[in-house]
Amino acid sequence: MPDKTSQPITHADQAANQTPNQAPDQAIDRQALIKGAKRIVIKLGTAVLMKDEGGIALSRFYSFVEGIASLVKSGKEVLLVTSGAIGLGSRTLGLTSKPKLLPLKQACAAVGQGRLMALYSDAFEKMDVIAAQVLLTEEDFSNRRRYLNLRSTITQLLELHVLPVINENDTVSTAELEMLKGDHKDVDIKINFGDNDKLSALVASKIDADLLLILTDVEGLYTADPRSGPEAKLISVVDVFTPEIEQLAESKVVSEKPGRGGIKTKLAAARIASQSGCATIIAGGKTENAIGRIFNGEDLGTLFLPHGGLSGKQKWIAFATTVKATLVVNPGAKEALKKGKASLLPAGVTEVKGTFERGDVVSVAGGDGHEFARGIVNYSSDEARLVSGQHSEALDELKESRNYDALITRDNIAFLDS
């Protein structure tokens, strides 16, 4: 059995690959952070909602409902992001295995979503809490006007003391399966959508949540696969996302077998939330009264500390749901962008990958391919290719369409690196 003693992770510890005993003030900081959280997003995954043999795990389900209702009644603003529609639909249709083809998945979602929401509505009604269904697609985040409308609707629901129950609209959404090819070469599409872990982080980021709680089928983030033996230790606190922490995403330390997620998507979610100034806890949803115990101050799961600094517009740019193109820049441009507070000029661009139009969000990467920023472009990909590597005067050749001296102006850039 793995050692489940919580261990903090700090800069020095990661460098030395050690996990020392917890400092006495960390538990106090954790309790203060949780107690002070006013707006909370809770994500329930398929693995904790469904039984291994299929169907809703009702006793655990009602425990979640009681825990959430208690938070709402205490004055917290709570949003619930839930999985389970495909699994419930598959069970209802009598399928003997998990659906693999997209049309069958969407059919299962269509059958299961209504049943899932009915369960939540009935359960919360018994607890005197009103629940509202909110189904989202990638477009609700990538289109800024729709995003602002969504934000206004959710804010209004919270002001009315209504609990938004959020799920990806699997019946029509295909974001997790879409792969596009650029006009000039293959382009890796960067998708911040397509699983409910990332959906919960996007919701937390864009409605300014204080805390994101992801409940899964293990106790948190481990230093190794918890099934591998006693050397695996539960990490109590993660301050920053170092390469060592990122590497844990590749080691498959956690796997939510019945769902689409896993530790990689959970760490990605925690990173999005952290960069938005929102703390994240990844904890075991199968632990008895998990929600109540966490909010009563018990040291359960792994806490990822928040690091703020992004404005509302920058959050939308940084976490744009689907980024289909990349501007590769030289070292001087990267240095000027990150430290000189400069705009991205044509001279700094060495390569234009993919296709985009004016006003799209694109990735900005160094020569090594590492994405360090995103920005709203002032010119199309065809125009950018004409002037890349040249001085800004080259933009004068775009006589009918010239409008800015920079491909991306400073106020439309959001940095992804801390």
pLDDT digits 0-9 by tens, 94-134: 998 888 888 898 899 999 999 999 999 999 999 999 999 99
Domain that holds residue 359: 325-415
What are the residues whose beta carbons fall under 8 Å from the beta carbon of 166, sequence distance 6 or more?
A: 79, 80, 81, 82, 134, 135, 136, 199, 200, 203
Tell me: do 16 and 89 sit in the same domain.
Answer: yes
107 and 223 assigned to the same domain = yes
**Residue scoring higher pLDDT (363 or 241):** 363
Over the chain, what is the mean pLDDT? Answer: 83
317 within a domain of the structure (yes/no): no
> What's residue 285's pLDDT?
94
For residue 318, is it within any domain? no
Q: DSSP labels for 231-294? A: T-EEEEEE-S--HHHHHHHHTT----TTSS--HHHHHHHHHHHHHTT-EEEEEETTSTTHHHHH
Last residue within a domain, chosen from 247, 277, 311: 311
Question: Do both 45 and 147 map to the same domain?
Answer: yes
In a domain, 60, yes or no: yes
Q: Give the per-residue pLDDT at 256.
A: 45
Q: Output 402 or 147, whichever has higher pLDDT.
A: 147
What pLDDT sits at residue 184?
40
- Looking at residue 372, which CATH number applies to its domain? 2.30.130.10
Q: Which residues pair with 165 in a beta bridge?
A: 80, 133
| Residue 171: pLDDT band with limits 50, 70, 90 | confident
Say whether both 263 and 336 belong to one domain.
Answer: no
Q: Model confidence over 309-327: pLDDT tens digits?
A: 678 788 888 886 678 899 9
Residue 184 located in a structural domain:
no
Residue 320, in any domain of the structure? no
**301/262 same-domain check:** yes
67 or 171: which leads in pLDDT: 67
Same domain? For 218 and 332 the reply is no
How many Cα atoms occupy the beta-carbon half-sphere of 17 within 13 Å? 5
Last residue of a domain, one of 261, 277, 311: 311
pLDDT at 22: 43
Split into its structural domains, the chain has a count of: 2
Examine the domain organization and report whether 41 and 149 are in the same domain. yes
Compute CA distances 167 → 46, 195, 198, 357, 370, whole Å: 12, 10, 11, 30, 31
pTM above 0.85, yes or no: no
User: What are the C-alpha distances in Å from 275 to residues 76, 299, 306, 370?
Assistant: 22, 23, 7, 17
Q: Are residues 125 and 270 in the same domain?
A: yes
Whether 371 is covered by a domain: the verdict is yes
406 and 305 within one domain: no
- The answer to whether residue 185 is domain-embedded is no
pLDDT attached to residue 18? 38
